[in-house]
Structure 1
Amino acid sequence: MEQCILSVIIAAHNAGNYIEECLASLDDSLEKLPEKYTVEAIIINDTSSDNTLEKINNYKELNFIKRVFSVEFKNVGKVRRFAFTKCSGKYITVLDSDDALSKNSITLIMDYLVSGKYDLIMTPLNEIIGNNKIKQTTSSLDKIKKLNNSEACTFFLKQKEVQGHLIGKFIKTENLSVMHFPEISCYEDMITTSYAVEKSTVALYINSKIYLYRKRDGSTSHDRDGSKILKMQYVLEQMSNIFKKPESKPMLDALWVKLASDILSRSGGKLKIPEEIKTRVKCINLIAFLMNINIRMSRKKALIKLRIKLDDF
C-alpha cells in the first residue's frame, strides 16, 4: 500500500450537531484524489455525552480511512497529543469537529505534500460566524510563496495572514514529537505550531482560504470575561523559548503587548495585568518598537496606550 500522505486529526466533544458536516467536508476536500494517495482521519471522541460517537461510527467515508478512538481526557491538548501517537501520515493537519474544509482543497495541495519538499504549508482561515451550514469550493490555489526559515518565523510571528492555530496548516510529521503537544486546555496549538515553524527549513504559504473556521459563543475566541486569556502568558513564555533568534524578539514583544491589551479589554478592566507581563511591556524599547516594519500598527498603538497608563493597573 502507498504510504499514508496525510493524517487529519479531529477532536470531537459533544459535536453531534456538526460532526457529519465536518466529515463530509473532508470527503469533499479529497474529491478526485488519485487512489494511490492515502489520507487518514484520526478521530478522537473525548467524553461526549451526546450522539457524537454514533454519528462518527455511522458515517460512510468515501475518500479517506477512518480511525476512531474514545478517550476521557476532557482536555484538547491531551487529545491532540494522543492523536499524534496514532498518526501514520507523512504530514499532519487538524480539523476541528465543528469546522469544515473547502471542496477540492486537499486534492489541490496534495502534490506539494507528496513531493516532501516542504516542512510546513500554511494557509489563512475563512472565519464563519454562527451555526449555519458552511460550504465552499476551491478551484485553484492563489499566490503561493516559498519561505526559508527566517522568513517563515517572521511571517508567523507577525500573526497577520496566519495565526497560531494548527488548523489550516500542514506539518511534516517527522519534525514533531509527542512532547510538542502540551497538555493544556486552550491555546496549546500555538506552542505546537511554533515548534513546527522554527524547525522548518523550507515552508510554503498558500494564500487560499481552504479552512472554514466557525466562531461560536463559548469558544476560546469568545473569551468574554478574559479568564482564558490569562493562560496565554504560559504560551508566550514557551514561544519565547522556541524563537531565540534576535530578529524574533520585536515580534514576540508585540505579542506580549497584545496580551496585556487583551487582558484589559476582554475583562472590561476587571482583571489586573500580572507583574511579569507588566515588566516585559515596560522593558520594550519604545523607539525601536515603533520603527520596526514587521510590527503591526495596531500593536504600536497598543504599546503607546499601555505605556501612558501602565502604572494604573
Structure 2
Amino acid sequence: MAEVSMIVPVYQVEKYIAQCIESVLNQTFQDFELILIDDGSKDQSGRICDLYAAKDDRILVIHTENRGAAAARNVGLDHASGRYITFLDGDDYLDEHMIARLYEEIVDSEYDMVVCDFLNLLPDEEDNFIVHLQEKTVNGREVLEHLKNERNYGLWTIVWNKIYKREVLENLRFPDGKYFEDEFFSNQLYLNSNQIHVIPDVLCYHRVLASSTMNTQKIENYLDLLDALQERLDIYFKYDYSEDEIYKVLIFLLDPFTKCVRAKFSGTNKKRVEQTRRFIKIVSRRLMGKNLSFVKKSSLVIIGLFPDLMYRIAIRFRSQLEKFL
C-alpha cells in the first residue's frame, strides 16, 4: 500500500501526458501510486500511459469509455489505496518537491488537507500568474462561507493543488455527468473538512489552454453551474451563513443565469432556466428580511423581478456599483 495516491484523468492530452507522468515519477517523495484513468481518449494518450506502466509497477492505467473528468476521478478514488490522496490533470505537471512538501505538512497533523500555490500557464507567457498565498490555517466553514467568494482564481474549487486525508474523501464523489463538477464537489468537501493548512510554495503548473474545458463551455453546460450555485445557497441558508455572503453568491448566479436566458432554450433546458428564475425570486425575498444595507435590499427588488435585466445593468455600471455593494 502506497502512502500517497495520485489520481490523473487523461483525455486527449498526448502532447502533455508524458511531461505530466515524468513530473510524478521524478518526485523526491517516492512512496506513491500513480493512477491514470484514460477517459476514452482517441489520440495516443492511452498508449503513452501504458508504455509508462510497463516500466514502473507503481503506475496503474485504467481504460474507460469517455464519461468526463468527474467519472474518471471517481474511478481513481475507487482504486486508490493511499493514506493520502492528490489529484492532477493530464496536461499539468508538478514541481519535483510537491508531494514531499504537502506530505510533510499533513502527516501526523490535525489537518484534513494542505493547499499550495500554483502557476497558471496561459497561451501568452506574459499573462502567467500565481495567486500569492500566505501561510495560514483555516477551517472548512470559513472557506465555504467566505474564502470561496473572494477573488481567488478558483483556488478553493480546484482539486489539484491539494493533498487530502483519505478519510475526508471516503464518502465523497464527483457528480457523474455534470459539468463544473468541482463546484459540486467543493460544496460537500468543505462541509466535511475541519482544519485546512495553506502554504505559499508554488508547487503545481497548470496549463490554461485555449481548447480547455473552461474555455470551450457550451451554453447548456452553464445549466449545471446554476445547479451548483443553487446547492451552495441552500447550504448557506441551512447553516445560517452570513447574509452578505449569500448576497454575493446570488450575484454570482446571475451571470450564468443570464447566459442561459439569452440562449432561449426549449424543452427541459427551458424548464431548468425557469426553475432557476423562481429560485432567484425566493432567495431575493428571503434576503429582504435579513440585515443587509439599504442599497442591497433595493437591488433585491429588481433582482427578484428581472434578474437578467439587473445583471446587464450591473455589468454596464460595474465600477460605480462596486463602491456601494
TM-score by length of 2: 0.74
Distance change >3 Å, CA 194–CA 90, structure 1 → 2: farther
Cα 1:225/1:44, change in 2 over 3 Å: closer
1:16 aligns to 2:14 (yes or no): yes
Q: Determine helix, strand or coil for the equivalent of 2:158.
A: coil
**Would you say the 8 A contact 1:260–1:277 is kept in 2?**
no
Task: Tell me which residue corresponds to 1:247.
Answer: 241
Q: 1:75 to 1:252 in 2, by over 3 A?
A: farther
Counterpart CA distance in 2 for 1:248 and 1:71 is 43
Counterpart position of 2:322: none
| 1:88 counterpart = 2:85 | no
Change (3 A) 1:158 1:257: same
Distance 1:287 1:192, change over 3 A: closer
- TM-superposed deviation, 1:215: 1.7
Residues of 2 paired with 1:125 and 1:271: CA distance?
A: 38
- Aligned partner letter, 2:22: A
**SS class of match (1:246):** coil
Whole-angstrom CA distance in 2 between matches of 1:282 and 1:54 = 52
Deviation at 1:270, TM superposition (A): 4.1
Aligned equivalents of 2:255, 2:224: Cα separation in 1? 14
Change (3 A) 1:131 1:64: farther
Report the CA distance between 1:80 and its aligned residue. Answer: 1.4
Q: Cα RMSD over matched residues?
A: 3.7
C-alpha displacement of 1:220: 3.2
Aligned residues: 291
- Deviation (angstroms), 1:287: 8.3
Partner residue in 2 for 1:182: 175
For structure 1, which segment, 18-27 or 170-179, has the greater mean C-alpha deviation from structure 2 after superposition? Answer: 170-179
Deviates more, 1:61-70 or 1:200-209: 61-70
- Retained in 1: the 8 A contact 2:35–2:61? yes
Matches within 5 A, 1:1-313: 4-28=2-26, 30-31=27-28, 33=29, 38-59=31-52, 65-130=58-123, 143-161=134-152, 162-177=155-170, 179-223=172-216, 226-242=219-235, 244-247=238-241, 250-264=244-258, 269-270=262-263, 274-280=276-282, 282-283=284-285, 284-285=287-288, 288=291, 310=307, 312=309
Q: Distance in 2 between matches of 1:9 and 1:46?
A: 13
| One-letter amino acid matched to 1:4 | A
| Larger helix percent | 2
User: SS of the residue aligned with 1:160?
Assistant: coil
Q: Is the 8 A contact 2:113 2:165 kept in 1?
A: yes
The 8 Å contact of residues 19 and 52 in structure 1, kept in 2 or not, is answered as: yes
Which residue of the partner structure matches residue 295 of structure 1? none
Q: 1:253 to 1:61 in 2, by over 3 A?
A: farther
Query: Secondary structure in 2 aligned to 1:185?
Result: coil
Distance in structure 1 (CA, Å) of the matches to 2:206 and 2:301: 32
Q: What is the distance in 2 between the residues matched to 1:102 and 1:251?
A: 35
8 Å Cα contact 1:77-1:188 kept in structure 2: yes
Residue 296 of structure 1 corresponds to none
* Alpha-carbon distance change, 10 to 278 in structure 1, aligned in 2, over 3 angstroms: same
Q: Contact 1:144–1:206 (CA<8 Å) still a contact in 2?
A: yes
SS of the residue corresponding to residue 220 of structure 2 reads coil
What is the distance in 2 between the residues matched to 1:268 and 1:311?
A: 7
**Structure 1: 5+ residue stretches without partners:** 292-298
Q: CA contact under 8 A between 2:52 and 2:59: conserved in structure 1?
A: no
Conserved? CA contact 1:120–1:196, under 8 Å: no
Larger mean CA deviation between 83-92 and 195-204 belongs to 195-204
Gaps of 5+ in 2: 266-272, 311-325
One-letter amino acid of the structure 2 residue matched with residue 189 of structure 1: D
Distance 1:154 1:178, change over 3 A: closer
How far has the Cα of 1:240 moved from its partner? Answer: 4.1
CA distance in 2, matches of 1:131, 1:14: 22
Contact kept in structure 1, 2:146 and 2:245, CA below 8 Å: no
Q: Look up the equivalent residue of 2:307 and give its one-letter code.
A: L
**Secondary structure at 1:251 match in 2:** helix
For the structure 1 residues 24 and 242, does the alpha-carbon distance in structure 2 shift closer, same or farther, using more than 3 Å as the test?
Answer: farther
Aligned counterparts of 2:174 and 2:291: Cα–Cα separation in 1: 34
CA shift, 1:277, in A, is: 4.4
Which TM-score applies when normalising by structure 1?
Answer: 0.77
The structure that has the greater radius of gyration is 2
